[in-house]
Structure formats: structure tokens, C-alpha cells
Chains A and B, each alone.
Chain A
Amino acid sequence: MNVMTQRPNVLAPDLEDLVNEHETSVFEVRDLTASYGATPAIENVSLDIFDKKITAVIGPSGCGKSTFIRCFNRMNDLVAGAHVGGKIFYRGEDLYAEDVDAVEVRRRIGMVFQQPNPFPKSIYDNVAFGLRVNRMTDHLDDRVEKALQDAALWDEVKRKIKDPASALSGGQQQRLCIARALATNPDVLLMDEPCSALDPIATTKIEDLMHELKADYTIVIVTHNMQQAARVSDLTAFFSVEGSAETDRSPRGVLVEYDTTEQIFTAPNDRRTEDYITGRFG
């Protein structure tokens, strides 16, 4: 199976083994480039995202991690001036082909944002929102309950399901947003620093949750927290910023190294990766 038609700059030899051995690729990213206006944000990114695995995206601030994962559910379409080049195949289908409906894409590929963003509605209506817009309203109550259970929130809210979501704590709100994304049974869950606004206990809850979700979902998570990446993920992609005023090119994010999390954190191939994870970056 030759999935890696164009490889990342540095591809560990055992990654190909990984591909060959036991993975199906959900996304095949090939030469992905994204820019805002004339300013490039990421350039020439190529990698695969594997089925039912947690893939962590790490790297310094501004290297394009958010930009990168927004490409997967075409959220960049909503940013004025954003342009995406290169290819992403989602289960073999070109995500950016002319006739692909971005709305349909987002129904399959859910997203959880950095800041919890519950709607100013009840807890119930928040979870039901995606179900309603996707016309999955049969057994609505059951689906809402299931989603809240999957997000490990049900026990805390079952007695106040009609209360406004804004009355929940930050960590509960973030789990509500996860429940909301899970309710429609997406294929993939994208998480952009889902724990950055949370305390360690809430963070632990969400990390535990991710381990459970792994059985059913493919997860891509952006995180600033090295320990978190090491704890939760199977694979890690390290991005960095390249180019600067001195080199006469505007800085842009590049994929430095992509490998199993174990490899990245124990024996990284690239000097820059090593510097970053050991805190010697910059």
C-alpha cells in the first residue's frame, strides 16, 4: 500500500511500516499550503491521519497548527482572505474538489474549539442543535442523552438539562461542546487546544474521555502541552516556523517531523523537534 505519494520532509522509516501494517488513512494531506491574503501560514505539508488514532499537532505559537486543522473541515473557507492550496483526500475523496459541499464535510468532521463556545440556549438544545440541522431528530432525547454520556457529562447535568448552558463551569461547557460535536456521530473529531482554558482536573477528564472516544473516532488534537500530547496521542506532528526577515522570506509554518508519539518523544529524528520538546526552543 503506497499511501505516501509525497512524503513529509522527514519521515521516519517505521512510519511507513506503521502505514503498511495496520492503518487505514482517513486523511491524506499532500503538499498542503494555506495563506491569509498574500501571507503564507503553512507550506508544503504532507502527512496521513490514521483511522481510530489520536494524532497530536504540536509546535510553537503561530506556526499554523490551527490553520492546519481548520483545513480538514474547511473552516478556513469562512475566514475572509484565506486560501488553501494542495490536496487533502478524505477517505479517498478530494476535500477541496469543485463539487464538494463544505456543509456536508462539516457534518462528518466535527470540531471543538479552543474556547468553549456553547450557544446561549439550554444544555439540551445545545446538544440537539447539530441533530436538528442535520435532520436526525428521531429519538432526539435518546441521542442527546447518549452524546452527553459519551462526553462524560450526563451525570452532572441530567437533572438540569433544560438549564442554560452558560450556567455550567468552563470544563463542563467544553465537555458540552464535545457532546454537541459527538451527537451527530461524526467520523473525525478535530480539537483545537480543547483544554487550554481548563484546570488540571477538567483537563484530566477530557483526556480520559479522549481515550474512550478513540475506540470510535479518529481524533486530531492541537495542543501546547507536551505532556498532554505524550499522554493522549498515538502519533505526533511537529510544526515549526521557517524563514524570517534575514532569509528574505516571510515566516511560514512547516511540518518538521511526523512519527509515532513514542518516537517523537524518545528519539526524535530532527534537531528542531528535540529542541522543542526538551524546552530548548527559540
Chain B
Amino acid sequence: MATVATSLRRHSNVREQLSERVVAVFLVGATLVGLLALVVLLVTVARSGAGQIDVPFLRNFASRIPERAGIWPPLVGTLWLMGLVTLFSFPVGVGAAIYLEEFAPKNRITSVIETNIANLAAVPSIIYGLLGLAVFYRALEMGRSLLTGALTLTLLVLPVIIISSREALRAVPRSHRLGAMALGATKLEAVYKTVLPSAVPGIMTGTILGLSRAIGETAPLLVAGAAAFVAFTPDNLLDAYSALPVQIFDWVRRPQPEFQALAAAAILVLLGVLLTMNSIAILIRNRYDRKTR
């Protein structure tokens, strides 16, 4: 019974083993490329920019003299934008997702709407800038205002929020809806009391992704009228404003190395804002995750 004795040995021949190795190496390599790029980027930016970050840099206004230049107005502008975009896009996006997923009749019109939303998510951001320019800036006469910028970015993130929220809602088992309704809950109660709480983590993830995208966008803001130089911080919705990516873009364009360093520092601050925002969202998400398990 020699066959039994050898049956536990590796059957695959050398070529098979080799190709398996090659694939594994390729996959690890592919992961490392992304990671490496990120590390290199962070290290370069941190080396040239970290030394620049101090209180005056954070609190100063824009200036032609690099030593006096700071990021206070764009920082405040970015925070404003984030707040406003969250305020506008979260309820509208989640509301639209709830309607489409839970209440909308399944017919031609809704399927056309669905396809459209999916396509909108793939539209280049500069197109949203043009839309903002045409609609908010010109037609609605909001001009170079914070509101124009916030509404433009809202349009940009809405498809992402709607799509990911719908996915989160769809992942909630139908048996929860049926169970709730069998207990005498109305459809609305079933959605708000069972489906939505379970979907919050997924909805938050989508919103984080959408807002993270918005916070780094430069093109639509440039097109829709953000300024690189503002002599004041905005304090109402119709004020002119700047934003960190716009400021970074402006500095990077300049030939002097001092401004390059400032840009690097501003990038670090932008990353800091982004990380803070994401951490808060993840905290909220985890809280809900624990509550609904």
C-alpha cells in the first residue's frame, strides 16, 4: 500500500509551488507600494513642514513675506466648510437613502434616479465647481461666499453618502423590519427604531469617507470662488472665505522655497483636522456599534 504512505506528501509540483510564491510576493508588494507611498509622503511633508508649525503660523493671516504668513483664515474657513457641509449633507443624504431604500416604490423612475446617483459619484470634482459657480455663485447670487463653497461641496459628497447609507440600510436583515411590524410598529417606526440604529455604523463610515473627500478638495472651491487671500475670518455665511487646500495650492505654486515649507506645514495641519474629524466619527460609530450588538 505504497500509495497511502505517500498520500500526505505535497502533491503539487515545483511549478505550482513557484507560481503560488510569485502571486504571494506580488500581493504583498502591491500592499507595500501604497503603504510606502504614504510613508514617503508623510515623512517628506513632515520634515519640511513640521518645524513651521507654531502658534503664530496658526494665528497669522496670509502675507507676501513668508515669515509672517499664517493659515488662520483658511483654517477657520475649512472648519466652517466642514461644519456646514456636515449640516447640509448628512440629513439630506441619509434622508434620501432612507426614502430610496425603505419607502420608494420600485419602478422606472426610482431606478433612473438610482443610476443617476451612482453616476454622480464618479463625476470629476471640478464639474461640481462649475455647477456651484453657475447655480450658487451666479444664479442665486451668493457670490464668493462660504455658503457657495459649502453648498458646492455638499453636492459633491451627497452621492457618496447616499450610496453608502443605502448599503448600510440594505445590510440590516429584513427579519428586523418584519419583526417590528409584526409587533404593531408602523413602517416609519420600524425604520427609525430598528433599522436605522443598526445602520448607523455603516452610515457613519460613508459620511466620513464623503467628508474626508470634501475637506481635501481644491478644484471645486477654486472654481466656485474661494480666495487665497482674505484679510479676515468669515463670521457669517455670505462672507468671503479661504480654505486650507486652496491656501496650500497657492503656496505650492510659488517659486520661493520658504513658501514650499509653509505649504508642507499647512498640509500637516489639514491632515490633523482630517484625523480629528475621523476619530470623532469613529468614536460615535463604535458607540453605536456596541449599543446595537
Chain A: residues with CB nearer than 8 A to chain B?
73, 75, 78, 80, 103-104, 106-107, 110-111, 113, 115, 117-121, 129-130, 132-134, 164, 166, 177, 180-181, 184
Contacts and interface: CB of A to CB of B under 8 A. Distances in A.
Task: Report, nearest first, the 4 A-B pairs whose CB atoms are least far apart.
Answer: A107-B184, A130-B183, A117-B175, A111-B182
B282 interface: no
B106 A80 contact: yes
A146 B198 CA distance: 28
Contacts of B106: 80
Contacts of A103: 181, 184-186
Interface in B165-191: 173, 175-176, 178-186, 189
Contact of A119 (B184, B189, B194): B194
9 contacts: A75-B182, A78-B181, A80-B106, A120-B293, A133-B185, A134-B184, A164-B293, A177-B179, A184-B184
A113 B198 contact: no
A121 B293 CA distance: 7
Contact of B173 (A107, A117, A164, A181): A117
Contacts of A115: 175
B193 A129 contact: yes
B175 A113 contact: yes
Contacts of A129: 180, 183, 185, 193-194
Interface residues of B, number: 20
Contacts of B173: 117
B198 A120 contact: yes
Contacts of B293: 120, 164, 166
B179 A117 contact: yes
B194 to A, nearest CB: 5
A166 B173 CA distance: 14
A113 B184 CA distance: 15
B60 interface: no
Nearest to B189: A133
Contacts, number: 71
- Interface SS, B side: helix
B197 interface: yes
B44 interface: no
B197 A120 contact: yes
B116 interface: no
Contacts of A113: 175, 178-179, 182
A174 to B, nearest CB: 12
A118 B180 CA distance: 10
Given A119-B179, A133-B185, A166-B293, 5 more contacts: A120-B292, A121-B292, A129-B183, A130-B183, A133-B180
A196 B222 CA distance: 63
A181 B180 CA distance: 10
Contact of B182 (A73, A80, A166): A73
Given A121-B292, A133-B189, A166-B293, A181 B183 contact: yes
Contacts of B184: 103-104, 106-107, 130, 133-134, 184
A222 to B, nearest CB: 14
Interface string B186-206: 100100011001100000000
Interface in B229-276: none
Nearest to A131: B183
A75 B183 contact: no
Given A117-B173, A119-B194, A164-B293, A106 B182 contact: yes
Contacts of A104: 184
Contacts of A166: 293
A119 B192 CA distance: 13
A205 B198 CA distance: 31
A137 to B, nearest CB: 14
A106 B179 CA distance: 11
B287 to A, nearest CB: 14
A166 B176 CA distance: 13
A111 B106 CA distance: 27
Contacts of B185: 103, 129-130, 133
Contacts of B186: 103, 133
A75 B194 CA distance: 18
B193 A133 contact: yes
A260 B181 CA distance: 32
Nearest to A73: B182
A129 B189 CA distance: 10
A117 B183 contact: no
Contacts of A111: 182
Contacts of B175: 113, 115, 117
Contacts of B189: 133
Nearest to A118: B179
A121 B291 CA distance: 7
B178 A75 contact: yes
A80 B174 CA distance: 13
